[in-house]
């Protein structure tokens, strides 16, 4: 049994190794999710990586239409794209599109890259679909963080505009900020009139040393004091917003990482 290579002629398999076993093993062991799909969009074969990424068992994927793996909002369009692809199949490598989303069996959506490899030229009416989870890519994570931050900032803006009671704003602001920046603890502290201490007035995920009403020294070695001295600190470190409250008081909105204990 031999493999034919594009530039190097043929490559012989060792004696006793079956070609079908090799290809089936390669398909099963491939680290990216792989689906074998027929002309109607029906999945005829999947590898273990596909089961993990898509949260379906192999027997569930077998016989399923690939349209079920895209979000509901774009399913009709995907069906149309797939029909057009069947009429004009061509190889499509990964990296040509970055805005693809797959819908898992548990309902979650994941950002993916997809490559398509039609097998029609080899006499098989099938397409190999390789799917890679790109949610862990640093650039994708950064984009998702920016979107999440913008959404929560908009919520904060609507809250400030619509709510006349400042106490309600202070109550909800720490949660919105913590969710936006994916932090476990968020504090709102007020700088007292004598400017020597801050007082914790609200928070999210508070620990025992962050009780409401507690006072924090206004010094460079405490988080609120540090942020007052460095109001333009980058988001990569502690983050704060200084909110003016009348003529005398300043509200310091400080976000603590879960292991901070200032």
> Within 88-232, where are the H helices?
138-162, 166-181, 223-229
Percentage of the residues of the chain whose pLDDT score is greater than 70 = 74
Q: Decide: 110 and 55 in contact? Cβ < 8 Å.
A: no
**pTM of the complete model:** 0.51
pLDDT tens digits, 24-75: 888 888 889 999 999 999 999 999 999 999 999 999 999 999 999 998 888 8
Q: Which of 4-13, 35-44, 79-88, 208-217 has the highest mean pLDDT?
A: 35-44
pLDDT of residue 144: 65
What domains can you pick out in the chain, each with its CATH number? Answer: 31-136 (3.30.450.20), 139-256 (3.30.450.40)
pLDDT tens digits, 145-158: 677 677 777 777 77
Q: Decide: 252 and 195 in contact? Cβ < 8 Å.
A: no
What is the total residue count of the chain? 262
């Amino acid at each position: 049994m031999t493999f034919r290579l594009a530039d190097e002629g043929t490559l012989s398999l060792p004696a006793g190794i079956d070609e079908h076993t090799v290809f089936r093993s390669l398909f099963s062991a491939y680290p990216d999710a792989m689906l074998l799909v027929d002309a109607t969009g029906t999945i005829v074969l999947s590898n273990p990586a596909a089961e993990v990424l898509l949260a379906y068992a192999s027997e569930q994927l077998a016989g399923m239409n690939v349209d079920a793996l895209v979000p509901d909002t774009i399913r009709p369009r995907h069906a149309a794209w797939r029909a057009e692809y069947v009429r004009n199949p061509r190889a499509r490598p990964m990296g040509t599109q970055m805005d693809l989303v797959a819908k898992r069996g548990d309902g979650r959506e994941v950002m993916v890259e997809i490559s398509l490899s039609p097998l029609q030229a080899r006499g098989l009416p099938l397409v190999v679909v390789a799917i890679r989870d790109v949610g862990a890519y640093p650039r994708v994570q950064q984009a998702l963080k920016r979107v999440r931050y913008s959404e929560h900032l908009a919520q904060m803006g609507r809250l400030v505009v619509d709510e006349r009671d400042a106490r309600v704003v202070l109550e909800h602001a720490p949660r919105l900020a913590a969710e936006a920046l994916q932090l476990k603890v968020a504090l709102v502290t007020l700088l007292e009139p004598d400017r020597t201490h801050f007082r914790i007035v609200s928070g999210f995920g508070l620990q025992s040393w962050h009780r409401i009403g507690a006072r924090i020294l206004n010094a460079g070695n405490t988080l609120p004091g540090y942020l007052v001295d460095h109001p333009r600190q980058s988001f990569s470190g502690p983050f704060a917003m200084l909110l003016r409250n009348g003529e005398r008081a300043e509200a310091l909105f400080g976000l603590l990482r879960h292991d901070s204990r200032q």
